[in-house]
């Protein structure tokens, strides 16, 4: 769900990074705590489309983000329907998906470097209690950078399946996990070799 930055001159692109992150955090908390009905949850989902339009991203990008989150949506909907019932499942799933779409809109309209700088500035007051803003910002940048890598690994596994005419079923998740852990080891070795960790 976290795509790469798309250049543009929209209101969202020009908005301060810190303000976008604060609004995203507030909206996420409100969506989590406010007792939505199915109708208000669907209205919030519609408002996320408005955010994509304001950001100059368009409805196609919004639909693409929904498509990329299809497994998350399916898992949330089914698991909540089993335990909470269909209406609560619809409401809960739409709330989570709305926050994910808003996070995608922020990421698509904000350079990663600007996001890292904003996180580092926000954490500077916590130096007094031993926090290292630069290290936290670096960790955030690694997290953001690794998400497209995991997506690329998943695409490679699917292409290898098609090329060999083999269907792994749910076992492809185990293959992805092994490849992701191998990548994490490689990144850790590279950081250690450079004396960063």
pLDDT tops 60 at residue 1? no
Domain that holds residue 13: 1-110
Residues 26 and 104 in one domain: yes
Q: How many domains does the chain have?
A: 2
The verdict on 72 and 139 lying in the same domain is no
97: buried, middle or exposed (CB in 10 Å: 19+, 13-18, 0-12)?
A: buried
Residues 8 and 72 in one domain: yes
pLDDT over 60 at 3, yes or no: no
pTM above threshold 0.75? no
Contact call for residues 118 and 18 (beta carbons, < 8 A): yes
The answer to whether 144 touches 103, Cβ cutoff 8 Å, is no
Comparing 197 with 160, the larger pLDDT belongs to 160
Residues 6+ apart with CB under 8 A from 66: 73, 97, 101
Residues 132, 168 within the same domain: yes
SS3 content of the chain, % helix, strand, coil (to 5): 80, 0, 20
Residues 106 and 132 in one domain: no
Instruction: Convert the pLDDT of each residue in 40-80 to its tens digit.
Output: 777 888 888 888 988 888 889 888 888 877 777 888 888 88
């Amino acid at each position: 769900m976290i795509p790469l930055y798309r250049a543009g001159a929209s209101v969202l692109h020009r908005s301060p990074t810190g303000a976008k992150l604060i609004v995203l955090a507030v909206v996420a908390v409100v969506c989590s705590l406010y007792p939505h009905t199915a109708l208000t949850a669907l209205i919030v989902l519609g408002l996320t489309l408005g955010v994509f339009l304001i950001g100059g991203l368009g409805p196609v990008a919004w639909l693409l983000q929904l498509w990329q989150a299809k497994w998350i949506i399916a898992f949330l909907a089914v698991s909540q329907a089993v335990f909470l019932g269909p209406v609560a499942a619809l409401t809960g799933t739409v709330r989570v998906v709305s926050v994910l779409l808003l996070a995608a809109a922020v990421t698509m309209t904000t350079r990663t470097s600007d996001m890292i700088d904003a996180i580092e500035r926000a954490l500077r007051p916590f130096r007094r209690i031993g926090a290292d803003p630069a290290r936290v910002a670096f960790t955030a940048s690694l997290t953001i950078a690794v998400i497209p890598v995991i997506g690329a690994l998943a695409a490679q596994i699917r292409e290898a399946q098609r090329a060999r005419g083999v269907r792994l079923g749910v076992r492809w998740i185990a293959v992805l996990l092994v490849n992701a852990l191998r990548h994490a080891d490689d990144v850790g070795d590279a950081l250690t070799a450079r004396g960063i960790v």
